[in-house]
A and B are shown apart, each in its own frame.
Chain A
Amino acid sequence: MTPDVLEISGLTVTFRGPGGAVVPAAVDVDLSISAGETVGLVGGSGAGKSTVARAVAGLVRIDRGAMRLDGTDLVPLGRPAARRLRRGLHLVFQDPYSSLPPTLRVADIVAEPLVVHRIGSRAERVDRAVDALRAVQLGAAYLRRHPHQLSGGERQRVAFARALVTDPRLILADEPTQMLDASLRRDVVDLMAELAARRGLAVLHITHDLALAQRSCARLVVMRAGAVVEHGPTLDVLGSPRHPYTAALVAAAAGNTRPIREDAHG
């Protein structure tokens, strides 16, 4: 078995609330993703899903725990070393309307990670940006556009192109479909699955939409109030949830699903 691309163990993150109160955002979270695998991190608002992704991306300070990227623990490393290692991962945000810098053109947005990490010459960066855009099915015609000239789905594709341009090993996608239309949601989820399969990427898909998670994730991790309450293969978790919270989520999602009538089957 190949070593996991991402392995988190005992991750604990707390925030200081008003009056110095300690608010736990993630408590002893264990999670792993192997190459080519998509893992769904599900739960309601405030469950701590985003905190886990932001901790891995280095955006929040962690209290304790280990975060191994390709076997190397990020936690004991100094900032420059951790920064170098984090080139291998990319975080995709929920809102494509705010996660792209509004004043740049698509070409510069997609190439920006290369500029940040000083990879390649200017011409090489453009080439890689074009390649990355092609991987998300956007043509070179998009290079000169500004984000406000794109639809929500196109913006999120640009965000994924930016994520791919450095050839990362891991993509952390934080509710990437939340702001999109239903048909685009499916497209984005299918795109993630395709990227995982074709490029051997490890993908952490954070979502509260169980039906979407079911579409692309091999395994699910269910969080509530900062803690993992259940994890396992998607079909097991959704088919026979062991934790009452998972059962409630499944019931809520099933409430959005009309039973398929026999005669309506094609």
Chain B
Amino acid sequence: MRARGAAAVGLGILAALVVVALAAPLLAPYDPTVRAGRPFAAPSAAHLLGTNDVGHDLLSELIYGTQASLLVGTVAALAATVIGSVVGLVAGYVRGAIDTVLMRLVDVVLSLPVLPLTIVIGVFAGPGLVTQVVVIATVIWAGVARELRAQVLSLRERDHIQALQAMGARAWYVLPRHVVPAVAPIVVPQFVLAVRTAILLEAALAFLGLGDITAKSWGTMLSLAQARSAFLTDAWLWWVVPPGLAIAVTVLAFALLGFAFEEWARPALRMPAARPARRRSAVMAVPVDADAPALHIAGLTVEYRTDRGPVRAVESVDLTVARGEVVGLVGESGSGKSTIAAAALGLLPPAATITAGIVDVAGEPVSTMSAAALRALRGDRVALVPQEAMSALDPVRTIGSQIVGVVTAHRTVGRAAARDRAAELLGLVDLDPALVRAYPHQLSGGMRQRAVIAMALANDPALLIADEPTSGLDVLVQGEVLDLLDRLRERLGLAMLVISHDLPVLERIADRIAVLQAGSVVEIGPVAAITYAPEHPHTRTLVAAVPRLVPAS
């Protein structure tokens, strides 16, 4: 929908520009090479944009300028994009010596100063449209190549490309069918940028006398306006602004098309437009109720807007986590576990709306809070232990500075105090406090998960929400992390909502387990009851599905 709109606008503008370029002799009121009025005439009925220093009609120049600007810009950008893409694809996919040679060449081109290079090539080749295209393409292909190579390098390691290689597919099979479509969305913005650069370079070249003198472009107009002191008078209004706008509108048209193309290339992006969630903005500070449960959810219903109308992800869910209690939320993918967690954190995606019910964290109503109040709440009263410890940590900052960041976001404490707190938190999760200076990549998976737990604990939250805290971890490490959570709960009296699709994980640390199916809690009860005497058929299925190690007799 959005893509179609953007594409329509972009195509509309481009079509208009092409029509203007092609029909210039019909549309232009005068021949732009003929003196049609007195020099420096202000706009009038006869000359809508006035005239230049020799008396040429500026509107006619602008209309004819479309031809040269579009032609040189598009052809040069196209050439540069094609050359750059091919070089980037080959270098990134084939690697080895070819990569080294090509990328050194790219380095050389990128490090050469653009303007002198442009002049040198231009002088050798002589003025003309072809020279402009060749010069511009030579200068800008290297940037495209570098960008593409980086994309291909990461794409190469993706599973579906590896799967093809494992099937025995060769480079010439994989590149056009899988790599090119995947990088196409990146090529298009590159092309848009190239068109812009090309149109600007064209102006520079035209100014240096390397353009085709018989075909004046927008760039030539700008250069002439500058050279003939248009800025000293009001003339810039009709001499500089119109070609400037023309260039901006052209670039905009390409950008809109690029956006549409990106949606087309990635079907998963085709989602209905998000309507900003309406929130009651001014919420009075609610006095903190020490007796309120850590989490109280009642009658919660959440709907997602989709192509096929609203979809109910969570329906009339009641769930309470008392202070110091650990409640497990189990369900299969799509059962609504993550939506409930997101609702408790006030982090529902824009496409989701709470249509009924309340969510209170430590007595504070999350479902009606302002965005600012929510930010204050998150990481303070309620904290999240996200699923992927590696992606939850910033790879370029030390563990210590990330914990300090969480502390100082909510507390006014000095650097030193915050640093001490970080070291203390690492000790709390059984990590060496010296690791405050370590970067995430220096830690093992289990250590990273501990660091993430330490961050969550930074401000003594009333409630910890752990979303699949052990998935992706080694079995042995998994046990250690669960033991740690168990100890922390004893020591700090933490209330936790632990989400997992793995029943055994919850059996190990939860007091009660809530079973979700298709957005509803179908059964809730103490762990023993759920494991040994499940009542609901879905619970029975879940319990039976758990692969248990059968002790050898």
A residues bordering B, Cβ < 8 Å?
A: 44-46, 54, 57-59, 83-84, 86-87, 90-91, 93-95, 98-103, 112-113, 115-117, 146, 148, 151-152, 162, 178, 180-186, 189, 208-212, 214-215, 235, 238-240, 248-250, 252-258, 260-261, 264
Whether the pair A93, B163 counts as a contact (CB closer than 8 A) is yes
Whether the pair A116, B168 counts as a contact (CB closer than 8 A) is yes
Closest beta carbon of chain A to B527's beta carbon, Å: 9
Whether the pair A258, B531 counts as a contact (CB closer than 8 A) is yes
Contact status of A257 and B159, CB under 8 A, knowing A116-B169, A183-B332: no
Whether the pair A182, B159 counts as a contact (CB closer than 8 A) is no
Q: A-facing mask of B1-39, CB < 8 A → 1, else 0?
A: 000000000000000000000000000000000000000
Q: Which of B162, B163, B475 contacts A249 (CB 8 A)?
A: B475
Q: Residues of B within 8 Å of A, CB-based: how many?
A: 52
Whether the pair A45, B473 counts as a contact (CB closer than 8 A) is yes
Contact status of A103 and B476, CB under 8 A, knowing A116-B173, A181-B332, A255-B508: no
User: 8 shortest A-B CB distances, which residue pairs?
Assistant: A239-B552, A256-B504, A211-B547, A183-B545, A99-B159, A181-B332, A44-B474, A91-B166
In the complex, whether B542 has a CB less than 8 A from a CB of chain A is yes
Whether the pair B507, A209 counts as a contact (CB closer than 8 A) is no
Which of B472, B474, B533, B549 lies at the interface centre, i.e. has the most chain A CB atoms within 10 A of its CB? B549
Neighbouring B residues of A181 by C-beta, 8 Å = 332-333, 501
Contact status of A103 and B265, CB under 8 A, knowing A152-B333, A238-B549, A248-B476: yes
B residues bordering A, Cβ < 8 Å?
A: 158-160, 162-170, 173, 178, 181-182, 265-268, 332-334, 445, 472-479, 501-505, 507-508, 531-533, 541-542, 545-552
Closest beta carbon of chain B to A233's beta carbon, Å: 11
Whether the pair B552, A257 counts as a contact (CB closer than 8 A) is no
Whether the pair A98, B479 counts as a contact (CB closer than 8 A) is no
CA distance A158 to B193 in the complex (A): 39
Neighbouring B residues of A210 by C-beta, 8 Å = 475, 549
Q: Which of A44, A99, A112, A162 contacts B475 (CB 8 A)?
A: A44
Whether the pair B164, A112 counts as a contact (CB closer than 8 A) is yes
Whether the pair B476, A44 counts as a contact (CB closer than 8 A) is yes
Closest beta carbon of chain B to A238's beta carbon, Å: 6
CA distance A183 to B164 in the complex (A): 29
Whether the pair A182, B267 counts as a contact (CB closer than 8 A) is no
Contacts A/B (CB < 8 Å), 29 sampled: A45-B473, A46-B474, A58-B165, A87-B168, A90-B167, A94-B159, A99-B163, A101-B160, A102-B266, A103-B182, A117-B167, A148-B268, A151-B333, A181-B332, A181-B501, A182-B542, A182-B546, A182-B547, A183-B541, A186-B545, A209-B475, A210-B475, A211-B547, A239-B552, A248-B476, A249-B476, A252-B479, A256-B548, A260-B548
